[in-house]
Amino acid sequence: MKITKRKTNLLISIPLTDMRSNPYDPEYSEPMDSLMGLIEDDKFGFCYRIDMSYKGKDDQWTDFILRCDMDMERESFIGLCDRLGIQVVTC
């Protein structure tokens, strides 16, 4: 993550991809999306993806790193994720 300031704006740059890894196989490395859209009841925003492939499980996710429900409608958020190619999960 990179955080900078440009004039009167705070810019946060988060890589969209990361590498999967396996602690049992140091040779294993595969790209994965690092962000997910998260919808939880009436709250929605972005979270980090947690790689669980090394355990043979579906990926998990963190709590929100950025909430968007204060200034955006749910349908607009889903459309934004679709345009950005970011998977959305619902709890």
Are 39 and 74 within 8 A, CB to CB? yes
Q: Give the start-to-end residue ranges of the domains of the chain.
A: 16-90
**Are the C-beta atoms of residues 20 and 53 closer than 8 Å to each other?**
yes
Percent of the chain residues past pLDDT 90, beyond the cut = 80
Helix or strand or coil: residue 57? coil
For 52-78, what is each residue's pLDDT tens digit? 998 999 999 999 999 998 889 999 999
Q: What is the pTM of this model?
A: 0.86
The kind and range of the H/E element at 78 are helix 74-84
Read off the tokens for 84. Answer: 């950005």
Higher pLDDT among residues 23 and 7, named by residue: 7
27: pLDDT strictly greater than 90: no
